[in-house]
Amino acid sequence: MKSLFVAAMSLLLPWAAAAQVRIDISHDSPLRKLHIAEVAINTFYVDSVDEQKLVEDGIRGMIAKLDPHSSYSTAEEVKALTEPLAGNFEGIGVQFNMIEDTLMVIQPVGGGPSERVGILAGDRIVSVNDTAIAGVGMARSEIMRRLRGPKGTQVRLGVVRRGVGERLAFTVTRDKIPVETVDAAYIIRPGVGYVRIGSFGATTHAELLEAMAGLERQGMESLVLDLQDNGGGYLQAAVDVAGEFLAKGDLIVYTEGRTSPRMDYRAKGGGSFQGGRVVVLVNEYTASAAEIVSGALQDQDRATVVGRRSFGKGLVQRPFDLPDGSMLRLTVAHYYTPAGRCIQKPYVKGRARDYDMDVLNRLRHGELTNPDSIRFADSLKCYTLRKHRPVYGGGGIMPDRFVPLDTTVYTRLHRELSAKGIVLNAYLHYVDENRARLLEAYPSFDAFSKGYAVPPSLTDSIMAEGRRRAITPKDSAELARTMPYLALQLKALVARDLWSMTEYFAVMNEQNPIVMEAVAMLEGKD
């Protein structure tokens, strides 16, 4: 019994120190039962077993019976999950894509280690430390593992460059590479700024401040804050972002759970944009931290929310680090908006598949295409804090202005061409062959936006490859519906490769109904 107690305490000590957890290992404790079962299987089972996997499977089995967001992650999974939110990683500093089985540089990170040694957009990295990575079927994850490494270490790259006969060699000293969470920021209409936040990480607040300052220098008076498809991230980042639009002391969100007392998060004051009009954009994939921001600005009557009901992820996870670097994330509380709405949508414990199918079920039931399909019980009604407008709980943030999903724009044909990588490979080849000519013809994005049209040869090559792989339009009507959005996507991808993600969204947003609804509101056209 003593040895069991020591083992249990050594495993759970970090939790106990943080949460003052008492561990019951008395004779009839379920913990003792679990330990005996594991020892018996490992010792006496007829075949050998992987004890590490046995324990991990046991943990995953317990987690599966809880809510949809409690989880267990291995050490490798923890690193992959936390890196995008940490604000940086260590590597060579290139944005890249795989063209067939070769890594092609889309853009070197400005001021990063690759740019400093002369690596250019369009370069193909074919070897790393004298090991071939092109034409050998190496997995993308393995290529990334070879390119990344501790700051200060060096890596030798073999590079093939268009127009240069011999292979080039570069020695790159790895460094910290920033991970940006603000995807785009630009003036979308005179006086109207647009900022898109892709996730909430350690640097999001600072990125937002920099983006907003730049837009205000360009004459921004009102703002479109785009949180579409934003899956969330750090709570504190969401609180800091919301605080930029609210007065000191304004409630942003509070959390509360069975063993977690209520904790309020409020604006600190001194926000950078407390006066101008704000429209927040959400859709069915806006979740967690993004729902905190949209719910706070809606409840405080600080912004108009436009789009479709958000995902409804309002469960608070607390991480518990395990000795081998793995992590248990347990739901300990719920998120509530300032008006008292619980953000979390309903779920049945252990029914993860039903939960995962929720967005598809919304589409089937008509909620994404028709606001009349949405019904809220009066018991879920709350009121905004200043204007006392009715808002509803029950899961997600329901927008003030509903914009239906147009299911006809992204056709089956387009989806299949994209899923097979045909669109991606075709545009990568096109940009690779025409980069210099395009930059000469369009020295600025403004000139590109106004003057560039996707050549028929590019779309023809996509359709020809589709036919070769038995992907064809059902009829002429489907082909006609496919071509405009395919051309828009291609133009946006070309803009991204020549400039940045801001230019990508500057192209795509002109045909985004939610964005255009927000712009019309701020321009006073509706």
Residue 272 falls in the annotated catalytic set: no
DSSP 441: H
Q: Which one from 127, 288, 294, 326 is the annotated catalytic residue?
A: 288
CB 89 within 8 A of CB 177: yes
3-class secondary structure, 296: helix
- Residue 373, strand partner residues: none
Question: Please, which residues have CB within 8 angstroms of residue 261's CB and are 6 or more apart in sequence?
Answer: none
Q: Which one from 123, 199, 313, 497 is the annotated catalytic residue?
A: 313
- Residue 47, strand partner residues: none
Written as six digits, the tokens of 338 are 């300032």
Residue 313 falls in the annotated catalytic set: yes
Torsion of Cα atoms, 27 then 31 then 34 then 38, to 10°: -100
Q: How far apart are CA 190 and CA 439, in angstroms?
A: 26
Tokens 């025409």 identify what position? 434
Q: How far apart are CA 492 and CA 348, in angstroms?
A: 41
3-class secondary structure, 440: helix
Question: Please, which residues have CB within 8 angstroms of residue 322's CB and are 6 or more apart in sequence?
Answer: 11, 328
Task: Kindly tell me the number of DSSP H helices and DSSP E strands found in the chain.
Answer: 18, 21
Q: How far apart are CA 389 and CA 167, in angstroms?
A: 66
3-class secondary structure, 166: coil
CA distances to 177, 251, 262, 307, 380 from 395, in Å: 37, 20, 19, 15, 10
3-class secondary structure, 78: helix
Residue 288 falls in the annotated catalytic set: yes
Amino acid at 133: I
Q: How far apart are CA 408 and CA 412, in angstroms?
A: 9
Written as six digits, the tokens of 395 are 């899961």
DSSP 378: G
Q: Which one from 123, 226, 299, 497 is the annotated catalytic residue?
A: 299
Q: Would you tell me the crossing angle of helices 476-498 and 456-468 to the nearest 10 degrees?
A: 120
Q: How far apart are CA 200 and CA 225, in angstroms?
A: 13
CB 243 within 8 A of CB 218: no
Report DSSP letters for 13-43, one per residue. HHHHHHH------STT-HHHHHHHHHHHHHH
Q: How far apart are CA 438 and CA 431, in angstroms?
A: 8
Rg of the Cα trace of the chain?
26
Question: Please, which residues have CB within 8 angstroms of residue 412's CB and are 6 or more apart in sequence?
Answer: 474, 478
* Alpha-helical regions (H) of 123-245: 140-147, 204-217, 235-243
3-class secondary structure, 217: helix
Task: List residues with catalytic annotation.
Answer: 288, 299, 313
